[in-house]
Chain A
Amino acid sequence: DVKVTQSSRYLVKRTGEKVFLECVQDMDHENMFWYRQDPGLGLRLIYFSYDVKMKEKGDIPEGYSVSREKKERFSLILESASTNQTSMYLCASSQIVGYGYTFGSGTRLTVV
């Protein structure tokens, strides 16, 4: 069973802080993704990566960056956290591009 692990389940940060959300998968998947989930808006793609060192912007990359130094780890970085980044963040990985994902449990981030 593929496991996608997000390091924090709940996180509270202050406005202006630099925030790191970590995601690790254990099945040697090439493809990893970050989404944010907000009520009524569904899941929106922030960034994705199809290879170590490769990263591409999704639909809502503003205010975020990512790091993928190792195949199993994909980190989402909020450069300067703002209250409108309060959300549920979901990491996912997949074996084949465009095919079904396995999601992590999510990190609920609150920026105060």
Chain B
Amino acid sequence: GENVEQHPSTLSVQEGDSAVIKCTYSDSASNYFPWYKQELGKRPQLIIDIRSNVGEKKDQRIAVTLNKTAKHFSLHITETQPEDSAVYFCAAPTRRSGYALNFGKGTSLLVTP
């Protein structure tokens, strides 16, 4: 079926290192790929997104890359800081859900000082 797979489920890095989270999708009609960050006890917040006509997008220490042929997209966080610790979700709109966002299961990122 049409779904979004996200890996890894947990990720631990040292402060200053880079973190990469990967997602794959199966619906070829998906054309928009957002990433959300959810801190403990808070609502998910959009941190970066990319549309299917773009291969890469950067915003300070975070970037998202998209490979439409392989149907995968990745979140890259450089120079990680303890405040980057959170759960990150990728998502993509899917036809079966009327193009509502279908979310990955999340990656719990821990940045240790």
Binding site for B on A (CB under 8 A): 33, 35, 40-45, 48, 50, 56, 58-59, 90, 97-106
Contacts and interface: CB of A to CB of B under 8 A. Distances in A.
Contacts, number: 60
A48 B6 CA distance: 23
A76 B32 CA distance: 27
**Category for how many chain B residues contact A:** 20 to 34
Given A33-B101, A58-B97, A59-B102, 4 more contacts: A33-B100, A90-B44, A98-B31, A99-B93
B106 A42 contact: yes
A105 B97 CA distance: 23
A59 to B, nearest CB: 7
Given A45-B100, A48-B100, A90-B44, A98 B106 contact: no
A43 B89 contact: yes
A48 B98 contact: yes
B99 to A, nearest CB: 4
Contact of A106 (B32, B43, B106): B43
